[in-house]
Amino acid sequence: MFYRDDLKKLFVIDGGLGRINIYDSSSYAAIGSILRKGAGPMAYDSGSKLLYVVTGGRDGNMPESYLDVIDTTSGKRMSETAILVPELDRYYIAVPRHGTQVAELRAFRMIC
């Protein structure tokens, strides 16, 4: 779960149903949901107000795992920024263009 106090929004992962539910904490009403198989661990970046959620993988009955980016202000999924490919022992991350830095795809070898 993640709670954004300034907007009174509660983000709850329901991995069994494959979605991220969004609630208004003042009224307890469901105000949105994002369908994502295998939604699991999440982390919040307070500077950008973005929520990063791991999806897919074994929990979603999918061969790959993804890192989804959720805009907590709009409650919308912005993108998948990364994919884990176990068969290749690689984790690929999309790095967007920023200022003079060009967009790129970075690959990291997994060490187990």
- Higher pLDDT, residue 55 or 72: 72
DSSP, collapsed to helix, strand or coil, labels residue 77 as: strand
The region that residue 88 occupies, defined by phi over 0 for left and psi between -120 and 50 for alpha, beta otherwise, is alpha
pLDDT at 74: 92
Residue ranges of domains in the chain, CATH in brackets: 2-81 (2.40.10)
Q: What global pTM score does this model have?
A: 0.73
C-alpha span between 35 and 38 (Å, rounded): 10
Q: pLDDT (tens digit, 9 = 90+) per residue, 60-84?
A: 777 777 888 889 999 988 877 778 7
pLDDT the model gives residue 68: 84
Q: Under DSSP, is residue 24 helix (H, G, I), strand (E, B) or coil? A: strand
What mean pLDDT do residues 77-101 have? 80
